[in-house]
Structure 1
Amino acid sequence: MVNVALIPKLKERGWNVCYIGSHHGIERELIAQQSDVPYFPISTGKLRRYFDWNNFKDPFKVMKGTWEAYRLIRKEKPDIVFSKGGFVSVPVIIGAWLNGVPVIIHESDMTPGLANKLAMPFATKVCVTFPETLQHVSKEKGIYVGAAVRDELKQGNADKGRMYCQFTNDKPVLLVMGGSLGSKRINDALRANLQTLLADFQIVHICGKGNVDAQLNQKGYKQFEYVHDELPHLLAMADIVLSRAGSNSIFEFLTLKKPMLLIPLSKGASRGDQILNARSFEKAGYAKVLMEEDLTNDSLREAIYQLYRDKERYIENMNNSQATDALHTLLSLIEEAGKGKQ
């Protein structure tokens, strides 16, 4: 999460930081772990591309959130607003614009999401992770910065990871991540192959809230609903990773040189951004891709073994990557825009 990566760096440079988010979103839990960062919840609706009766009432929630954000920004008088996107960001960005506060948006995916599309006209700059994204942004606003990766992820210790999971050194480790809510299809296919895979791998499975199966408590298989402080250590000990294809995660794997098997969300369950992310990484030689419509118990097992057999080739490609950490660039842009406001 770019916001979580930026906050400690901004505080080191003397910035006061506050956070505007939704009442019940996961970002509230993440920001609660940051000391001295006030959290201000506002009303928000969900921006849907499909028919839903809530589409008729959610615009009123967005208008209410915009008014709340406008008053909050007028009271706090920030020098700049930084937005990572998501539907809660639209009222905040409009509220900042109404107050004459500059806004920097960061777009992680290859194509801008609906929230960022709506917010871009009110932004000062739009920072992108993929160079291809610049074609969707006005030349005056678009800036390619690359991926921002949290420093703490680079400080992982493989021995601590093995100790946390009670793993040994005699088998490689497969790390499975299905997103914050998990993925039933990935969870089911993995568990259907569990006995076969455990003959060759130790498996740490971040399966999502409410998805731990207590009946599968066996040696070499460790389940978690969600991890935070331990994640750097789990990544450090992982030999290969099975994951969805969210932009933040896959760039973290790239930075840490972890061969990855990506199963992007299907177009039926998303706007297709994960498919574009995965195909970009596949083309660059950083990842193997298994489309969700091709996901079966057999195809998953075969893809995992093939990824492990070819892991050195993926690592070599990632070592040759030109990807850079965007944190320094983002910090410079924020400070420049903030000084302009002052």
Structure 2
Amino acid sequence: MKIAVSGGGTGGHIYPALALINEIKKQDAQAEFLYIGTEAGLEQKIVTGSNIPFKSIEITGFKRKLSMENVRTVMRFLKGVQDSKKYLKEFKPDVVIGTGGYVCGPVVYAAAKLGIPTVIHEQNSLPGLTNKFLARYVDKVAICFEEARSYFPDTKVVLTGNPRASEVIGINSDKAKDELGLKPGKRTVLIVGGSRGAKPINQAVIDMLPVLKEKDYQILYVTGEVHHESVLKEVAKIGNPFNVIIKPFISNMPEVLGGIDLIVGRAGATSLAEITALGLPSILIPSPYVTANHQEVNARSLSDHGAAVLLLESELNGAVLQKEIDSIMEEKGRLFEMRAASKKLGMPDAAARLYDEMKKLSK
């Protein structure tokens, strides 16, 4: 089977694509891949680093207000469609999948016009503009949250989950926890503000430090590399509790998650796929700085089912966060209930589900 993949801009679009590719390789060692992205996005470096053939097009997203740049974007789109058709005719894929980001627009559109079976994968509860545009042309729309279904033609929609979820299952976390200095057998809370960290979350944790030393659980606190030095300066004034381990960044997060009892963090689609696959309870603090506030919509997909506590950044401070953590960690019944609710929402076989839908189209 030959598969063309497109997705870019952020890791949230790229890593699910790579997880899907890894699953397909497990099932079909003869499968061939072509990844079409941009050289300006993260995908070029990440994909080529994974030894996957890569072709690039030039494309930018539309501005949300009237601008001459939008005229240039239309021209880039048309050129991107032309270049994509050339790549696809040369590669001759059995199916084309777009995993998000504006680069998918010309690639998936070109495939549809060439009569190649097409799929788009929407990771968020609130779909982006590109996938809304492509929905009318593609054969299938794969979603991760039921809340996204109403935005697409119902006959095309299939609930598959996020392929990234498949990559956190069955990983032994003991070694990773030991390397981080976490005590075995002790209940653990992970606090992380995304890959770059989040200043409001960092400030809340700093405010909590005097109280945390009295708790019988341990904290793994990830500041983000950008904020690490400034956080350590503040911690030095207060003192670092023995049960709080502070790190700037964790590169092997899937290896750590399996040993966590509660996670406090943002509500990106990939993160939610991972934590529900593992059945992790969570306190979600959605970033208010993302397009259309989609992280809050994502978070409500968990909090409405009892799998998470939704805490808006505007409501966040040390006392509020401490109260929410304690209410979960110190009430074992609630921790158990949230764990069960999270597990119920998880789709650990998401990559296989998505591949099955692709195989149906390619026959």
Report the count of equivalent residues: 335
Residue among 217, 238, 245 paired with 2:267: 245
Q: Secondary structure at the match of 1:122?
A: coil
Query: Quick one: which amino acid aligns to residue 166 of structure 1?
Result: G
| TM-score w.r.t. length of structure 1 | 0.87
Q: Distance in 2 between matches of 1:112 and 1:147?
A: 14
Are the counterparts in 2 of residues 260 and 286 from structure 1 also a CA contact under 8 Å?
A: yes
Pairwise CA distance, 1:209: 4.9
Instruction: Quote the residue 1:316 is aligned against.
Output: 340
The answer to whether the 8 A contact 1:18-1:38 is kept is yes
Deviation of residue 165 (structure 1)?
0.7
- Counterpart selection for 1:20 from 36, 39, 50: 36
Larger displacement relative to structure 2 (195-204 or 9-18):
195-204
The percentage of aligned residue pairs carrying the same residue is 27
1:307 corresponds in structure 2 to: 328
CA distance 1:187–1:87, shift in 2 (3 Å): farther
In 2, Cα distance between the equivalents of 1:246 and 1:75? 35
Correspondence for 2:191 among 166, 176, 179? 176
Compared CA separation, residues 264 and 156, structure 1 to 2 (3 A): same
Higher relative contact order (CA 8 A, sep 6+): 2
* Per-residue deviation, residues 81-124 of structure 1 (Å, max 9, x unmatched): 11111112112112222332221011122232111011212211
The alpha carbon displacement at 1:337 in A equals: 1.8
Gaps of 5+ in 1: none
The Cα RMSD (Å) is 2.6
SS of the aligned residue for 2:82 comes to helix
Partner of 1:257: 279
Match of 1:8 in 2: 22
Residues 10 and 158 (structure 1 numbering): CA distance in 2 closer, same or farther, change over 3 Å? closer
Aligned to 2:7: none
- The offset of 1:235, in angstroms, is 0.4
Counterpart CA distance in 1 for 2:266 and 2:68 is 29
- 2-structure distance, mates of 1:332, 1:166: 41
Aligned-partner Cα distance in 2 for 1:192–1:335 = 52
Partner deviation per Cα, 1:2-25 (whole Å, 9 max, x = no partner) = 212211121231211121122132
Instruction: Tell me, yes or no, if the aligned pair for 1:260 and 1:307 is still in contact at 8 Å.
Output: no
How far the C-alpha of 1:195 sits from its partner, in A, is: 4.2
* Alpha-carbon offset, residue 40 of structure 1: 2.1
SS in 2 for 1:45: coil
Q: Quick one: structure 1 residues 39 and 169, their matched pair in 2 at CA, closer, same or farther if it must change by over 3 Å?
A: same
Greater CA drift, 193-202 or 71-80? 193-202
Post-superposition CA distance 1:262-286 (Å, at most 9, x none)? 01122x6431222122112112110
Distance 1:205 1:32 in 2: 32
2:135 counterpart letter in structure 1: M
